[in-house]
Amino acid sequence: MSLSLENAAQVARPPEDGLAFLRLSRANEVTLEPGALSTDGARIAAFDSDVSATRRVDCAGCAIVPGLVDCHTHLPFAGWRAEEYALKVAGRPYEEIARAGGGIASSARAFAETSDDDVLAQGRALAREMLAHGTTSFETKSGYGLSVEAERRALRLAAALADEVPQTVRSTALLAHAVPPGMAAGAWLDAIAPLASDAESPATALDIYVESVAFGLDHLARMGDLARAAGRDLRAHVEQFSTMRSVPVALEHGARSVDHLACLHPDDLGPLAAAECAAVLLPGAELLGDERVAPGRALADAGAIGVIATDCNPGTSPVASLPLIAGLAVRRYGWTAREALVAMTLNAAWVLRLHDVLGSLEVGKRADVVVLDAPLEHLPYRFGHNPVAIVIAGGEVVHVREDQAWRLG
């Protein structure tokens, strides 16, 4: 199939082709000029209309942007934790809930008690919801296993989910999410070390949660060593509830990303912004957990590889919509719409090592394209409105909002 997307009010183009990422200090160089885009099979063919295309799309009044990339989710998981949210709203801190057997341990119990079919059914439903909100690529994580065999199961189900959805999916092994009951943190890392290096694992990255209720800096360093030995990227949940000074350790061990950063130490901001390590901010978790707000404006001004993601999970951020997350980022970090767009497209693709094939609109890249129902500036402004009219993945129209079907010729 070939597509011709015509008469758009805006086509979002990077300032130059071939960029691996775009530091947010340059994000406002993204151009938003009127134009068209055509595809040939699975690839972007040109930035002109094509009268011979199999299908022509009327994009009048719309913005054409890259497919959105969600580089931090916890799919697949089992069930939800609405009762914990009520406790948090009433003033109970997450650390207290976790120490009482809630949090990650609660999701681990639900995962153990839920069949493979039901876990995958929930994952497919969430992937459909994400697709309807423009997400054409996303990350999965293990981490709700809390035993070696359960973590293997989580990675197996993540691979199965990837085969059943139209999105491009990358797998992360979050092997150090919580310390299993009755084990010391170091002993758990000993137990999962063979899984970290398992050549059969679909994971392209290893992840660890560094926090007062989880793992410490020495464990982060060890996970970095495991990642390097396995030829996998290191990613890390850091500085969410407390200032652990995790960032220098993560940078020393070549982390691909550090995620959360609500409690980032001021002295660590400059080195992080200068590094080739993404700062993945999760404003959904910050809002719903009543956490501190990450220094998004300062990171952008300093030139960080800024990224936003949903952190879609059953506890701290049960959110599947990247446009909603972008609206939060613009309001709470003081970002522009262009900065938010870069943070959930090219930069997020770089975190997942997909930047060579998707994440920006360039000739030859995979035709993952989203048509918004208005100019880009409306995306954060109409907060809570789903602006996604049409979603194209690999050159195929995979979602059309019902009221926008008239655009398809």
Decide yes or no: CATH 3.20.20.140 for domain 69-351: yes
Q: What is residue 118's predicted lDDT score, i.e. its pLDDT?
A: 98
pTM (2 decimals)? 0.98
Segments of the chain assigned to CATH 2.30.40.10: 2-67+359-407
Helix (H, G, I), strand (E, B) or coil at 13: strand
Burial 37-52 (b: 16+ CB within 10 A, else e): bbbbeeebbebebbee
In angstroms, rounded to a whole number, what is the distance separating the alpha carbons of residues 326 and 321? 9
Average pLDDT over residues 331-357: 98
| 8-state DSSP, 27 | G
Helix (H, G, I), strand (E, B) or coil at 188: helix
In angstroms, rounded to a whole number, what is the distance separating the alpha carbons of residues 251 and 231? 17
Residue 119 tokens read as 């876990």
Minimal CA–CA distance to 12: which of 396, 343, 293? 343
In angstroms, rounded to a whole number, what is the distance separating the alpha carbons of residues 401 and 387? 9
User: Residue 43's pLDDT band (boundaries 50, 70, 90)?
Assistant: very high
In angstroms, rounded to a whole number, what is the distance separating the alpha carbons of residues 145 and 174? 10
User: Residue 98's pLDDT band (boundaries 50, 70, 90)?
Assistant: confident
Minimal CA–CA distance to 370: which of 337, 353, 392? 392
According to DSSP, the residues that pair with 5 across neighbouring strands are 37, 57
Residue 208 has pLDDT above 80, yes or no: yes
In angstroms, rounded to a whole number, what is the distance separating the alpha carbons of residues 110 and 112? 5
Q: What is residue 74's predicted lDDT score, i.e. its pLDDT?
A: 98
Residue 96 has pLDDT above 90, yes or no: no
| DSSP alpha helix (H) spans, 212-352 | 217-230, 246-252, 266-274, 283-288, 296-301, 322-333, 337-343, 346-351
Q: What interhelical angle do 148-164 and 116-132 show, nearest 10?
A: 50
Are the CB atoms for 64 and 134 separated by under 8 Å?
no
In angstroms, rounded to a whole number, what is the distance separating the alpha carbons of residues 169 and 292? 30
User: Residue 248's pLDDT band (boundaries 50, 70, 90)?
Assistant: very high
Report the chain's mean pLDDT, rounded to a whole number. 97
Displacement of CA 249 from its chain's centroid (Å): 23
For 54-85, the pLDDT digits (tens) are 999 999 999 999 999 999 999 999 999 999 99
Q: What is residue 52's predicted lDDT score, i.e. its pLDDT?
A: 96
Residue 57 tokens read as 């799309």
Classify domain 2-67+359-407 at the CATH topology level.
Answer: Urease, subunit C; domain 1 (2.30.40)
Residue 409 has pLDDT above 80, yes or no: no
For 116-165, the pLDDT digits (tens) are 999 999 999 999 999 999 999 999 999 999 999 999 999 999 999 999 99
Segments of the chain assigned to CATH 3.20.20.140: 69-351
Are the CB atoms for 239 and 246 separated by under 8 Å?
yes
In angstroms, rounded to a whole number, what is the distance separating the alpha carbons of residues 333 and 286? 12
- Reading phi first (left if > 0) and then psi (alpha if -120 to 50, else beta), residue 384 is in left
For 252-301, the pLDDT digits (tens) are 999 999 999 999 999 999 999 999 999 999 999 999 999 999 999 999 99
Secondary element (H or E) of residue 68: strand 68-70
Are the CB atoms for 52 and 354 separated by under 8 Å?
no
